[in-house]
Structures are given as C-alpha cells and as structure tokens.
Amino acid sequence: MRTRRRAISLVMLVGGLAACVSERPTTAPEPPTDGNSVAIKNFAFVPPNLSMASGATVTWTNQDDVAHTVSADDDKTFDAGVEPGQTFQFTAGAPGTYTYFCRFHPFMKGTLTVTAP
C-alpha cells in the first residue's frame, strides 16, 4: 500500500511540474494597429515593406517563439534583438529607404521607406 501511495504522489508531482512548464505563452501579443507595425511571425517580417513619414515610429513585435533581430543593412541605423513577445520601436529620421534583416535568420528581410512629412 505504501508503494502505491508513493507512486501516486510521484505521478501527481510530475503532473504538477508539467502543468507549470506548459503555462508558458506560445504566441506574442498582436502588434499595435496604427499602420506603422511589423509582425515578426513564421520567420518573416509582415508586412515585408512598410512606408511611413519621417518622425513616425514603427513597432516590430516578435510573435515567434524564438529570438530575432531587426538590423539595418547599410549604416546600422538600427540594430536590436527582439525576444519572443517583445517589441522594438524605431522613430524614422531622414527620408530614404532602409533595408533590414534578422542576423540570426538572414533570409528574413524587410524594407522601410521613409518619406518627407
């Protein structure tokens, strides 16, 4: 009888630990809907091309369950790591076209076009 109680206690302990581990969120919150938002999901920047006025702020939201970066190609205008569920914001300065990618997954690419206000 004592062995059976120990076995039941062990099963309950393992089940309780499994429940704690599985409570980790698997998706990030939806990005803001102001039009200057880029979701990072399914190993892609969505949308891959975004236009905005100088002085506006763009928000990238990582909806994947792995870390990514948002890294400007040319002059390192921006370069940030974005963990799952986190965001990165960049306020656009001079008009121009800024191409960017993920350092961890170089096939992930995007373009930010900044226009005069």
**What domains can you pick out in the chain, each with its CATH number?**
37-115 (2.60.40.420)
- Cα–Cα distances (Å) from 12 to 2, 5, 20, 37, 46, in that order, read 15, 10, 12, 44, 43
- The vertex-93 CA angle with 97 and 43, nearest 5°, equals 50
At residue 74 the predicted structure's pLDDT band, cuts being 50, 70 and 90, is confident
At residue 14 the predicted structure's pLDDT band, cuts being 50, 70 and 90, is very low
How much of the chain exceeds pLDDT 90, in percent? 66
Comparing 14 with 107, the larger pLDDT belongs to: 107
Contact predicate 112/101, CB 8 Å? no
Per-residue model confidence (pLDDT) at position 9: 45
- The vertex-10 CA angle with 9 and 12, nearest 5°, equals 65
Helix (H) / strand (E) containing 6 = helix 2-22
Contact predicate 18/81, CB 8 Å? no
Per-residue model confidence (pLDDT) at position 2: 57
Average pLDDT of the residues of the chain:
80
